[in-house]
Amino acid sequence: MPQTCPPPRRRLEYLLEKVGLGPDDYQTIAPHKELFASRAEEFGRYFLEFFLAIDATSLVLRRQSDPQRLAAVLGHWFGALFRQAMSPSFLVEMWQSGVRHVELNLDQRYVNLGYSVARQFCQRIAAEGLPPGARAGVLAVIDKLLDACVLVATDSFITCTSRCDNQVIAGIAHQVRNPVTIIGGNISRLQRQAQRDSGAWRAFETVLAENRRLERMLGDIAAYSELYRAEPRPEACPLEPILRQAAGRLTEHGQSPRPEQWLAIELDPAHAVAFADRAEMTLMFFHLLENAAQASDPAEPIVRVVSGPGPRPDFLRVSIQNSGKSPDPAQIDTLFQPFTSSRPMGTGFGLPIAALAARRNLGGLSLQPAPQGGALCLVDLPTPEDRAMAQ
């Protein structure tokens, strides 16, 4: 597990920054850190006794670890919280604790309760040993330290849980792909032996169409799961080459005519570069253009892509509008759910993949009826000026 969930150091540093911990906080607590760290062993015993008294956690603790050893580990964490503060090595330890919680299948609610217990223990020490004038300032810093611990451990838990779930999904998709391919090959062979336009030939054609849909669906499931395998690697991404590459892939796959026959790209030069993962942006725009092209008016297929300022100064907005039927506002939310498609042979993964890629790059994606008719897809993405947040 730890090998498949490496700590995302940049994101952890970003979370730490947003908690508000800074040099002044460390100076505030420095004269008093040994007052707290010296109670590490006591904390380990106190914490362990608290959770051994809860049936749901007692069973896990007694089954997975020697109680005395666990008390020592908990005491080490408490001492390091004050002696190491939020050093890089301590952040890694906190991340790995979240990984361990996944391995133990530990309910995250009890993990959060544990940090509440630690907070109460610190308040007791402060009441017993700190001068009244220093208590408020020191406890405010301790609150920040424990808030940071909660964020890091929760980030680890969510990341690893999602990754484990998607590894299972990707494995199933991989195992099913070969049988589906074999079935398709055998149906094609049987169809060639049937008289064209006979009832048998048409039945085989129906089965082949569904087989091809399953193959595309398996490919989309694999792509969806693949997004969870690694953290985005943001860089300055000029959007026009990415859009044209995505449109070219549609033509290569036989899913649309040549782009110049249906695609108009009109980007504002001042809002034409995003700060995001290039591969994920290519995947996102591939599915958005595919969705827009397939939903366009067959008599006059047009997809228009423009860019402009985003909802914040450090964001841009890409608008993708087609010439087709306007989506039903009441049904829009369901279109972002996997396996939901308005087309008989659709896989229902295009918009979920695109929305996930946008979120992973700190952007957003929405769909609405266009005022002039058709569908309007809005993609908000950070710009290079917002580089610290994107990292």
Q: How much is the mean pLDDT over the chain?
A: 83
Query: What single-letter amino acid sits at 163?
Result: R
If DSSP codes are grouped into helix, strand and coil, which group holds residue 338? coil
Which residues touch 293 (CB under 8 Å, ≥6 apart)? Answer: 250, 255, 256, 262, 263, 301, 303, 322
Query: In whole angstroms, what is the distance from residue 39 CA to residue 44 CA?
Result: 9
pLDDT at position 255, please? 63
Give pairs for 239-246: CB < 8 Å, separation 24+.
239/267, 239/272, 239/273, 239/274, 239/281, 239/307, 239/318, 240/265, 240/267, 240/272, 242/278, 242/281, 242/282, 242/285, 243/285, 243/289, 243/305, 245/282, 246/282, 246/285, 246/286, 246/289
Query: In whole angstroms, what is the distance from residue 100 CA to residue 104 CA?
Result: 6
Which residues touch 133 (CB under 8 Å, ≥6 apart)? Answer: none
pLDDT at position 391, please? 41
Percent of the chain with pLDDT over 70: 86
**Residue-wise pLDDT tens digits, 30-88:** 999 999 999 999 999 999 899 888 887 887 777 766 778 888 988 999 999 999 877 88
Statement: residue 388 has pLDDT above 50: no
pLDDT at position 386, please? 45
pLDDT at position 76, please? 92
Query: In whole angstroms, what is the distance from residue 151 CA to residue 20 CA?
Result: 13
pLDDT at position 85, please? 75
Enclosing H/E stretch for 326? none
Helices marked H in 20-107: 23-29, 33-37, 40-52, 55-64, 67-83, 88-103
Take residue 27 and report the two structure tokens written for it: 């100076």
Pairing relation of β-strands 234-238 and 263-266? unpaired
Task: Give the mean model confidence (pLDDT) for residues 204-226.
Answer: 78
Per-residue confidence band for 344, with pLDDT thresholds at 50, 70 and 90: low
Per-residue confidence band for 364, with pLDDT thresholds at 50, 70 and 90: very high
Q: Considering only 13-22, 126-135, 188-197, 358-367, which range has the smallest mean pLDDT?
A: 13-22
If DSSP codes are grouped into helix, strand and coil, which group holds residue 241? helix
Per-residue confidence band for 324, with pLDDT thresholds at 50, 70 and 90: confident
Enclosing H/E stretch for 273? strand 273-277
Per-residue confidence band for 260, with pLDDT thresholds at 50, 70 and 90: confident
pLDDT at position 390, please? 38
Task: Give the mean model confidence (pLDDT) for residues 118-131.
Answer: 95
Q: Considering only 60-69, 206-215, 303-312, which range has the smallest mean pLDDT?
A: 60-69
Query: In whole angstroms, what is the distance from residue 61 CA to residue 57 CA?
Result: 6
pLDDT at position 1, please? 39
Percent of the chain with pLDDT over 90: 35
Could you tell me the CA-to-CA distances from 137 to 105, 141, 199, 270, 300 in Å, in that order?
37, 7, 82, 46, 67
Tell me the backbone φ, ψ of residue 316, rounded to 5 degrees: -120, 165
Which residues touch 107 (CB under 8 Å, ≥6 apart)? Answer: 56
Which residues share a beta bridge with 273? Answer: 238
Q: Which residue has the tokens 């228009």?
A: 304
